[in-house]
Structure 1
Amino acid sequence: METEQEISFIDGAVMRTAEVANNLNVVESTIRKYSKCLEKQGYTFIKEPSNNNGRLYSKQDQEVLQEIKTLTDNKRMSIELAVSLVVSRRGGENQSSQHEAPRVPMLTDEERAEKFLERMHRNFMQENEKTKQEMKIYFEKNMRDVVENVMEDVVNSAVEKEKQRHKEELRLLREEIVNDVTKVIQKERKKNWFQRLFGN
């Protein structure tokens, strides 16, 4: 005898992953990814015991998945943020079949808004921490390059100054030697002139 779940499946009240993926024009792995995120937010699906407890999807489940797809495609949102927004919008409505009561307790508008803000804050903090880490790594790498470049410039500048100083010292030494030699030559000339003049 067929169970109620099997009858629902035959009547088309529930669908398997492949059918939902085909209906939403996505690959099956995307539906599984969306579903996993929904389950983390407390959303539940009918399970098919005869098929490894695989998920079964109702029309409402498909609508929820369609909303998530629209947000991630058009708004360029992350899956986690889109799921949070959809779950918050629907206020915990979660009927996996027409015969089941909602599996998530109904929330007031205030509670929904508060939970949504909490999720947004948590997501923001996670993204902020991730960005801080990336910036830290980026600046550490770039500052290292900057320091190396500065050090290279400082060393090159010091070497150039030292070269100039030695060059100047050599010029002064050369001038001093030339002056000394000139004085010696002049002295010798004077001496020879006196010798010729006085015969000594």
Structure 2
Amino acid sequence: MQASQARVHIMHADAVMTAGLRTILAEAAEFQISTGAGQHGAQVIVADYEAGIAAARQGPQDRFGPAPRVLIVTQLDKEWEVRMAMDSGVHGYLLQNCQPEELVKAVRSLMQGMRYLSESVTRCVADSLSRETLTGRETDVLQLLAKGCCNKSIARELGIGVGTVKTHVKGLMSKLDATARTHAVVVATQRGLIGPGQRISGALHNRPAFHSNALQ
């Protein structure tokens, strides 16, 4: 092993993706690649969405050393999915259809202490920062609207008054620039703000500072 090689650990749930990631990164002689359960000593972890978030939240395994930097490679591209990962402490986010050169570039960026987002993900986050974010309660109401609940049902479910529900509906419709309740659900679905069984009220409150592909 060359002294300058960076230690990269791949922990992707998809075996085919793992093989592809390993092959691409191995061709760049600057990386020492490992896979499997053990990640001790890794400087960068390349992972799927769930494993990446878990690794970012876990922190350093060695209390005397820094935590590995985490790069997620996934097909998940919804606004709330990206923001959830960023809020969890992930350092980089790539989509699975990225070019091999971009994967290598992303790992290098993380090794240099920078963060990295693919171009399409950067646009997604930048667009979300230009919009008013929904409050936690507005998100709860929106989720119930998507399930077809009426104002009385929403009020009963959330333990609030019907008038308060109407206020939240009016607020979320304004923020989503929607003309009707069903339109609000359509817009939110297109933006990835709601999904089956998802509660995302905490995913959009904090705004991570990602404004370009590679950032200090």
Question: TM (normalized to structure 1)?
Answer: 0.24
Q: Quick check: which has more Rg, 1 or 2?
A: 1
By relative contact order (CA 8 Å, sep 6+), the higher-ranking structure is 2
* More helix, by proportion: 1
Give the TM-score normalised by the residue count of structure 2. 0.23
